[in-house]
Structure 1
């Protein structure tokens, strides 16, 4: 089981019509992945089998750029554990 958190920092974050379009494009990849995930204010946490999580992380970064960002940084944290996101936050939510 792999748990990862990703925060994308596109430049620019979106367009005049849609200020966060490039961020939304990145989140859409996670939503379509079939993985368990939780969108937070400063990043998105996801969990699943390692190969699928790594592929999704790459897809998220690429989607941010494909959506029109001229540059972007993805901040990623990864934990390979025998726990779930829910078990790590149990009692705090």
Structure 2
């Protein structure tokens, strides 16, 4: 999978583990079993934790040729908790 057709990866890996069973899968790649972003309730408490394997870090530097405004928007959304 690519960011807007640019070479490189969209996610660095998939999320796995028993905690995901209680969570909401937000984004998958290739097939529904390959989850790369999920929101999981905090065990024994209030709130949720957002887990993301999206590889946005290398796409948000405006001075580099692989800058992608979509990756920047995704990162801002993750940091702000936008769903």
Report TM bin, short chain.
Answer: 0.3 to 0.5
TM-score by structure 1 length? 0.30
Higher strand share: 1
Q: Which has the higher contact order (CA 8 A, sep 6+)?
A: 1
Higher helix share: 1
